[in-house]
Structure 1
Amino acid sequence: MDDLNRELARFHRYAEHMRTLVGEAQSKAPPRSEGTDSAEVVHVVLGPDGIPASIRVAMDWRQRTSPQNLRSAVIEACEAAMAERLGAWTRSLQQDGWQDRMDRVQAGLDGKSAPEPETGGLPPAFRRDPNRPPPRPVDQIAEDMIRAFDTLDDREARSADMATGIVTGSGTSGRLTVTVNPTGLESVTAEESWLAGRSGDTLTAAFENALAAAKADLKRAAQDPAPGSRTAMKDLFDETLALLNDASRLSE
């Protein structure tokens, strides 16, 4: 068990360092980035999360492109904005020495690593609440684990898009839609016959409405906690760790 405890402690330290580094990387994300397509028909502004904050269509767009090509112009502008975003983000992380710290953590050479536990047992983060009853036998915990994972699989099958964070929003007319995920634009769809008769301002407003609807759904998806499932999984995880820390129970 001493070897297992040391490995758990090492894993815990690694996870804490990785959590810190990920938080630092996220804090360095550019608050805004912009891009246009090659014909300068569409101008896109990305927010700090990489999702379009605005998609603006030029007033004279019909003189520069066709309804058939407008969607690809939006994608091209988003890709240009994303390239600017990633470039600025990378430069910021390089200046901050983030990659060096990541390399040290991965190599296990970070000077700020937590020391090895001086006593036996699990690290504090993995210790079971002493007020809880002792863990049940292994077979009972395993059965509940399988049932819990099956429940999560069923929920994902019923709502695959919400599970992956991919949502779609449409303009008030329903003729134009945008699909986004938590990190950016997925796709754009629109009826070409409807596009042909619309001004740049009308299309800009349609994109604004579609983005607002998609972001609202994305926010709801992120806030869907499924509290019962998550609490049950956490309890099972805690119980499993407590069982692993009691060698005599593993032989039951």
Structure 2
Amino acid sequence: MSDDMLARLEQIQRHALGLQAAVQSQPRPNEADGTDPTGCIAVAVDPAGLPSRIEVRAGWQRHVAAEALGSLVVLVFQEVAAQAAQAWSESFDLDAWRSRAEAAQAGEREGAELPPLEQARPFGSPRDPLTLTEEALKALKATRDQAAAPPMTSTGWDSDRAVSIILTAGGLQGCTINPRWALRQGASVLNAALRQALGEARAAMEEHAARRRVEAQGLDDLAREALATLARFQDLSNPPKEG
């Protein structure tokens, strides 16, 4: 492998990191909240697009049928999430992001000077090629299997199994509230059940997200080690000339 190819790989890595930094520099969505037209159902949505609070106001029975409570919660969530997404998209500085991307691409086209190869290796440590290849194949298979798997869904229940919350990475997908049970409870009991079910569902989603972050870090480390191994081969095939 030539020095030019290794330098190109490093340049690609810098370009990807630059685009990532441009996106991360944009403002994150704020938490948003809203209610249904009667004000009986209140939902808050966090910056990740998941419900962070669901409340039923006292006196809801005068405005909402018990059988419609769960579906109304989902409708309120969808409305709040859509409004939050629109507000964030309007705050996103697309011109600044495009300017950074074009600057990075222009630097590549013009052959922007790179630091010496031995000074520009923020990679991992070289590895045994056979072991590295085996781990890379396993990582690729795991990634392929994840892509083919259905989206992760988590369901939370209250202790009475009267209220359930269904979440995916896309947000609230379902809410069920036993109508007979709900009519016998006050708003405080109903809200406690909603908090419990939501907390259980969110905990499962957060555990899944933590596993994905660990897997992503593992892939990043593997890529760095692969580049370091390629660089070592380059050094061995081009020993310094004596005299």
Q: TM-score, normalised by structure 1?
A: 0.71
Deviation at 1:178, TM superposition (A): 0.8
Letter in 2 for 1:244: L
Report the equivalent of 1:56: 55
Equivalent residue in structure 1 for 2:129, among 126, 130, 136: 136
Deviation at 1:231, TM superposition (A): 8.0
Equivalent residue in structure 2 for 1:146, among 137, 146, 152: 137
Deviation at 1:233, TM superposition (A): 5.1
Answer yes or no: is 1:216 the counterpart of 2:203: yes
**1:170, 1:178 within 8 Å by CA — same for their partners in 2?**
yes
Report the equivalent of 1:100: 95
**Cα distance in 1 between the residues matched to 2:139 and 2:52:** 38
Structure 1 residue matching 2:174: 3-state secondary structure: strand
Would the alpha carbon gap of residues 233 and 91 (structure 1) be closer, same or farther in structure 2, given more than 3 Å must change? closer
Deviation at 1:2, TM superposition (A): 4.2
Answer yes or no: is 1:44 the counterpart of 2:43: yes
Report the equivalent of 2:177: 190
**Cα distance in 2 between the residues matched to 1:214 and 1:231:** 25
**Cα distance in 2 between the residues matched to 1:226 and 1:56:** 31
Would the alpha carbon gap of residues 109 and 218 (structure 1) be closer, same or farther in structure 2, given more than 3 Å must change? closer
Structure 2 residue matching 1:18: 3-state secondary structure: helix
Would the alpha carbon gap of residues 216 and 136 (structure 1) be closer, same or farther in structure 2, given more than 3 Å must change? closer
**2:40, 2:60 within 8 Å by CA — same for their partners in 1?**
yes
Q: TM-score, normalised by structure 2?
A: 0.74
**2:166, 2:172 within 8 Å by CA — same for their partners in 1?**
yes
**Cα distance in 1 between the residues matched to 2:223 and 2:116:** 22
Instruction: Indicate the larger mover: 213-222 or 104-113.
Output: 104-113
Equivalent residue in structure 2 for 1:124, among 121, 125, 145: 121
Would the alpha carbon gap of residues 112 and 171 (structure 1) be closer, same or farther in structure 2, given more than 3 Å must change? farther
Letter in 2 for 1:36: T
Paired residues in the alignment total 232
**Cα distance in 2 between the residues matched to 1:153 and 1:188:** 31
Report the equivalent of 1:240: 226
**2:23, 2:97 within 8 Å by CA — same for their partners in 1?**
no
**2:3, 2:234 within 8 Å by CA — same for their partners in 1?**
no
**Cα distance in 2 between the residues matched to 1:230 and 1:13:** 18
Letter in 2 for 1:68: E
5+ unaligned residues in a row in structure 2: which ranges?
238-243
5+ unaligned residues in a row in structure 1: which ranges?
none
Structure 2 residue matching 1:49: 3-state secondary structure: coil
Structure 2 residue matching 1:172: 3-state secondary structure: coil
Would the alpha carbon gap of residues 173 and 233 (structure 1) be closer, same or farther in structure 2, given more than 3 Å must change? same
- Give identity over the alignment, percent: 22
Deviation at 1:187, TM superposition (A): 1.8
**Cα distance in 2 between the residues matched to 1:204 and 1:123:** 56
**Cα distance in 1 between the residues matched to 2:169 and 2:134:** 34
Would the alpha carbon gap of residues 194 and 153 (structure 1) be closer, same or farther in structure 2, given more than 3 Å must change? farther
Would the alpha carbon gap of residues 68 and 242 (structure 1) be closer, same or farther in structure 2, given more than 3 Å must change? same
Q: 1:120-156, CA deviations, whole angstroms, 9 ceiling, x for partnerless residues?
A: 4694233x43xx5x6435xx643443244446777x6
Answer yes or no: is 1:29 the counterpart of 2:22: no
